Structure 1
Amino acid sequence: MSDQSLEERLAVVTGASRGVGYHAALGLAQAGAHVIAVARTQGGLEELDDEIKQAGGSATLVPLDLRDFDALDRLGGSIHERWGKLDIVLGNAGMLGTPTPLPHMTPKAFDDVMAVNVTANFRLIRSLDPLLRLSDAGRALFVTSGASRSTRPFVGPYAASKAALEAMVISYARENEKTAMKINLVDPGTLRTKMRAQYAPGEDPETVTPPEAIVPTLVDLLSPSCEETGRIFSFPDQAWM
């Protein structure tokens, strides 16, 4: 395990306004990283910024819809202009979509799930890869789901999008085996998030693990001491898959 020190590291976190992304951004900042927090919700980002400042950390807020692919392209350019490199990417933002039988889903709803869960992460990789290569220990981590393998009913597009994300990210990692970059995925399992509540509305949230529980694991996986690449880490099992 790492010493969880990320002093002078620069980190991008998507979906940073709530849930896993919010707590991950806070945890990375507490470990010493300057966090570039990306999310659609301005209010949630401002709350995060206040909490990071109270903890003695620092952040840059980027209100952004990940379906605005041109804005993702500009993000890489802006980071290069201001900092000249990037050390960490946490691709956390995701969309479940309304649970429904596949024939009942509208084409737009299907496209939105794919846009956020797959295409946005491709565009993020495309935009930020040159910056990660300038780091002495670039780390990229993308949030997947057991749905990619369990293929539960009523969440077909979400399951398909996470399977596609896994294939894409592992391929990207293989392309970079001879670089200083380490690129992985993490399966957080069942956590107390808005997405979980959407999937299981009758569930008592107090029986579900809070999202902040995964933060030490995420910080570890994004630290220079993490030498694994092209793999999926299961948080519930605390093991590589």
Structure 2
Amino acid sequence: MNDYNAPQDLLHDKVILITGAGDGIGAQAARTYAAHGATCILLGRTVSKLEAVYDDIIALGGNEPAIVPLDLKGATPSHYQQMAQTIIDQFGRLDGVLHNASILGHLSAFKDIDAKEWQDVMQVNLNAMVYMTQALIPALEKAPNASVIFTSSSVGRKGRAFWGTYAVSKFATEGVMQTLADEYQNKSLRFNCINPGATRTHMRAQAFPAENPETLKQPSDIMPTYLYLMGNDSLATNGQSLDCQPK
């Protein structure tokens, strides 16, 4: 999957929602999906960043994206229900979701985790993802086949000292994916996780401020796995957690 060579029309006529689409991996995924024929729904907190990605897609000759400004920290299930109904009304269905948006929180000893920060990280990384997925399933079920990609991490598979809040949110993400994949086994809707690995993003710089970013892969370098899981070549892949940069 890491060297997957996607056909140019892989995502032709597909409608795909990307969270955290304003920068980093989310922005690159949106540009990449659009370049392969998708109509992208760009969801993020900062309108100016979403508009910049919108402009990039239009400049590359892609389908006109939709923009959904939404702060996951404050959004409620009713916001996601309204968004899902708007998607059905406008597009008739949803072919894919990339749950990319996450926040890191501070790295600290477990005993020192701040309660408010714990709640904020769980709200964005877990609760918002769960409520949004629940709301979007009817739209996803209207597609001939649909793919939901969750973003995981190596610390969501094996806990790491001082990464407690973020790690627990990613362990939970893996659990959500596995539960849904089992519920929808042999159906038209599939669920998988991606671990992007060490990638040149703002979150990586937060976590490893002394690291030389020149040693890291760019978001564009890891897109083959994102394309594979979103396109029809992965129809039989369900309940898997894939590494973009396997060791």
Question: 1:235: which partner in 2?
Answer: 244
C-alpha displacement of 1:112: 0.7
1:119-170 per-residue CA deviation (whole Å, 9 max, x = no partner) reads 1111111011011111111111111000112322221011011001101111
Question: 1:40: which partner in 2?
Answer: 45
C-alpha displacement of 1:10: 0.2
1:192 maps to amino acid: R
Question: 2:220: which partner in 1?
Answer: 212
Question: 1:182: which partner in 2?
Answer: 190
76-85 vs 66-75, which moves further:
66-75
1:237 maps to amino acid: P
Q: Helix, strand or coil for the counterpart of 2:18?
A: strand
2:146 maps to 1:138: yes
2:84 maps to 1:79: no
Question: 1:93: which partner in 2?
Answer: 101
2:7 to 3, 6, 9: 3
CA contact (8 A) 2:151 2:195 kept: yes
Question: 2:66: which partner in 1?
Answer: 60
- Provide the C-alpha distance between the structure 2 equivalents of 1:211 and 1:150, rounded to a whole number of angstroms: 24
2:33 maps to amino acid: L
- Provide the C-alpha distance between the structure 2 equivalents of 1:108 and 1:47, rounded to a whole number of angstroms: 32
- Provide the C-alpha distance between the structure 2 equivalents of 1:149 and 1:230, rounded to a whole number of angstroms: 14
- Provide the C-alpha distance between the structure 2 equivalents of 1:79 and 1:149, rounded to a whole number of angstroms: 33
Q: Which runs of 5+ in 2 are unaligned?
A: none
CA contact (8 A) 1:27 1:216 kept: no
CA contact (8 A) 1:15 1:22 kept: yes
Q: RMSD of the alignment, in Å?
A: 1.3
Q: Which runs of 5+ in 1 are unaligned?
A: none
CA contact (8 A) 2:16 2:97 kept: yes
Length-normalised TM-score, structure 1 = 0.95
- Provide the C-alpha distance between the structure 2 equivalents of 1:98 and 1:3, rounded to a whole number of angstroms: 40
C-alpha displacement of 1:223: 0.3
Question: 1:153: which partner in 2?
Answer: 161
1:218 maps to amino acid: Y
- Provide the C-alpha distance between the structure 2 equivalents of 1:214 and 1:74, rounded to a whole number of angstroms: 33
Length-normalised TM-score, structure 2 = 0.93
CA contact (8 A) 1:66 1:72 kept: no
- Provide the C-alpha distance between the structure 2 equivalents of 1:231 and 1:188, rounded to a whole number of angstroms: 14
- Provide the C-alpha distance between the structure 2 equivalents of 1:214 and 1:72, rounded to a whole number of angstroms: 29
- Provide the C-alpha distance between the structure 2 equivalents of 1:30 and 1:215, rounded to a whole number of angstroms: 12
Question: 2:231: which partner in 1?
Answer: 223
2:203 to 159, 174, 195: 195
1:228 maps to amino acid: T
CA contact (8 A) 1:138 1:180 kept: yes
- Provide the C-alpha distance between the structure 2 equivalents of 1:100 and 1:72, rounded to a whole number of angstroms: 32
Identity %, equivalent residues: 34
